[in-house]
Amino acid sequence: MTYAAPIAQANHSKPSLDVNTLVEGIQACYDCAQACIADADADLAEPRIQEMLRCVRLCLDCADVCLATGGMLSRQTAFDPPTARAALQACVQTCTVCGDECEHHAHQGFAHCQTCLEACRRCEQACNTTVLTFLASLPA
């Protein structure tokens, strides 16, 4: 994700929050979306797939919410803080639940779930940081 920072800086609509925070949020969302799509597929290839179904489902949810949130953060024009906050909160919720499920399977030795867990935790933290930045400075 080499391109998020230079495009954000060249945009005449100035970002509503710190650029470094914003860019990390964008990168974390897209990286987590890809990791979740790939992890859902790796789950399908497991011999005991019946035990991975909740992981497949939550990974698909998480990918969808991360892409929506990453798209919203990528736009600076007419940025609407309450709308971004609601999307970020949904992303935190989804990444937390999906990360917990991946952590369960990571402890069982599934390397792809360990990697997806890391992606979910990073995205949860990046979205939480962005929400806390918002909640401290912007109207509800």
Judged by beta carbon, residue 77 or residue 139, the one nearer its own copies is 77
Which burial class, exposed, middle or buried, applies to 9 when counting CB atoms under 10 A from its CB (0-12, 13-18, 19+)? exposed
Instruction: Return the residues of window 34-73 that contact its own copies according to CB under 8 A.
Output: 34-35, 37-39, 41-42, 44-47, 49-50, 53-54, 56-58, 60-61, 64-65, 67-68, 70-72
> Can you tell me the distance from the alpha carbon of 26 to that of 130, in angstroms, rounded to the nearest whole number?
11
Pairwise CA distance, residues 128 & 32, whole Å? 15
- Cα→Cα distances 41→26, 60, 74, 110, Å: 23, 10, 27, 13
Minimal distance, residue 136 CB to its own copies, in Å: 19
Applying the rule CB under 8 A, the residues between 71 and 130 that interact with its own copies are: 71-72, 74-80, 82-83, 86-87, 89-90, 93-94, 97, 110-112, 115-116, 118-119
Chain-centre distance of CA 36, in angstroms? 9
Based on its alpha-carbon atoms, the radius of gyration of the chain, rounded to whole angstroms, reads: 16
* Residue 20 in the binding site for its own copies (CB under 8 A): no
Residue 2: C-alpha distances to residues 116, 118, 123, 128 (Å): 21, 20, 17, 23
**Least distance to its own copies, CB of residue 133, Å:** 18
Q: Which residues contribute to the site for its own copies (CB under 8 A)?
A: 1-4, 6-8, 10-13, 26, 30-31, 33-35, 37-39, 41-42, 44-47, 49-50, 53-54, 56-58, 60-61, 64-65, 67-68, 70-72, 74-80, 82-83, 86-87, 89-90, 93-94, 97, 110-112, 115-116, 118-119
